[in-house]
Amino acid sequence: MTNDISAKLIDTIEIGNMLGEGVQWHVASNTLWWTDIQKACLYRYELTTKGIEQYAMPERVGCFSFIENDHRLLVAFASGFALYDISNDKLKWLAQPELSIKGNRFNDGRTDRQGRFWAGTMVEERNQDNQSAALYYLDKAKHCHKALAGIEISNGLCWSPDGLTMYHADSPKKIIHKYDFDPATGVPSNKQIFAKTLNESFPDGACVDSSGYLWSAHWGGAKVVRYTPEGKHDFEIKVPTKQPSCVALGGKNLDLLFVTSAQQDLTTVQLNKDSLAGHLFIYQLSGVKGIVESQVHW
């Protein structure tokens, strides 16, 4: 276990998200962004002033990415990939590969080290016995490709610092897999079990730090776990709510950990006990640095 790192909760953003997700740090503007999937809202948080801007989106947002030399966002809406301009609400659909699968929607995703945007779907409502989800990416020509199939809930997508290893979780199966990743083609191969979660912990959103360690939010487990590049449990943060949903490393020195959470599926009784559900938590880390989030590069 690592003894030279620590984490201290320094702030709680009392936002009350139904399903906070997709959190990421935008270096150029020194701001934090995330989505509340079920409320179809995007949030922008200014760390120094603690000011929050909220953007109503035309559809639920599973994940999103910033684009190099373009003020628009590349968004995985519930029904597909689109370019979206939050300044004027202009929307341009690029691909909707599962529009015909009733009950599926897009969920977690991220941009790889080469600038390709990836997003996976999930089975939100099962309408047929063989219904499943998948993982997709957009290439630099904006063409959509299916990379993985047979998934229930696509989650925890991230890459090693050198971009040669891809991590991906199928949350209900309680498994984080790792793949060899070809940077040139974007093809994952050699699927292996990286880590398994126990009891009522389900692997949700994840990110990788500059040392190649993976940070995973454990939905239902009230914790964030750091894994070594070999998949060993290395460090753990107890989060003051049951359902942490996604993590990001950022801040001026890339030494802050941001953790979203959710109220979704909690009963009134549970919410009364879990009063911090849906808030966003900020931890000051020591001994850890993040990696600048990749942006889409066409």
Strand partners, 19: 262
DSSP output for the chain: ---S-EEEEEEEE----SBEEEEEEETTTTEEEEEETTTTEEEEEETTTTEEEEEE-SS-EEEEEEETTEEEEEEEETTEEEEEETTTTEEEEEE-TTTTSTTEEEEEEEE-TTS-EEEEEEESS--STT--EEEEEE-TT--EEEEEEEESBEEEEEE-TTS-EEEEEEGGGTEEEEEEEETTTTEEEEEEEEEE--TT-EEEEEEE-TTS-EEEEEETTTEEEEE-TTS-EEEEEE-SSS-EEEEEEESTTS-EEEEEEB-TT--HHHHHH-TTTT-EEEEEEES----PPP-B--
Q: For the segment 268-278, what is each residue's pLDDT rounded down to a tens digit? A: 999 999 999 99
Place of tokens 């911090």: 276
- What are φ and ψ of residue 271, in 5° steps? -65, -35
Distance CA 249, CA 25 (A): 7
| Residue 268, C-beta contacts closer than 8 angstroms, at least 6 positions apart | none
pTM of the model: 0.97
Q: For the segment 119-128, what is each residue's pLDDT rounded down to a tens digit? A: 999 999 999 8
CA angle, residues 245, 74, 159, in degrees to nearest 5: 55
The mean pLDDT of 38-51, rounded to a whole number, is: 97
Across 126-130, 131-135, 272-276, 289-293, least confident range: 126-130
Q: What is the pLDDT of residue 1?
A: 53
Q: For the segment 214-250, what is each residue's pLDDT rounded down to a tens digit? A: 999 999 999 999 999 999 999 999 999 999 999 999 9
pLDDT band at 2 (very low <50, low <70, confident <90, very high): low
Look at residues 193, 260, 187, 261 and name the one whose alpha carbon lies nearest to residue 227: 193
202 pLDDT above the threshold of 70: yes
The catalytically annotated residue of 112, 204, 209, 274 is 204
pLDDT band at 105 (very low <50, low <70, confident <90, very high): very high
3 pLDDT above the threshold of 90: no
Q: For the segment 135-177, what is each residue's pLDDT rounded down to a tens digit? A: 999 999 999 999 999 999 999 999 999 999 999 999 999 999 9
282 pLDDT above the threshold of 70: yes
pLDDT band at 129 (very low <50, low <70, confident <90, very high): confident
Q: Long-range contacts: 261-265, Cβ < 8 Å, 24+? A: 261/17, 261/20, 262/17, 262/18, 262/19, 262/20, 262/21, 262/219, 263/16, 263/17, 263/18, 263/19, 264/18, 264/19, 264/38
Q: For the segment 241-270, what is each residue's pLDDT rounded down to a tens digit? A: 999 999 999 999 999 999 999 999 999 999
Q: What is the pLDDT of residue 111?
A: 98
Place of tokens 């925890």: 156
129 is catalytic: no
Q: For the segment 20-42, what is each residue's pLDDT rounded down to a tens digit? A: 999 999 999 999 999 999 999 99
Catalogue all structural domains in the chain, each as residue range(s) with its CATH number.
6-286 (2.120.10.30)
187 pLDDT above the threshold of 80: yes
Q: What is the pLDDT of residue 152?
A: 97
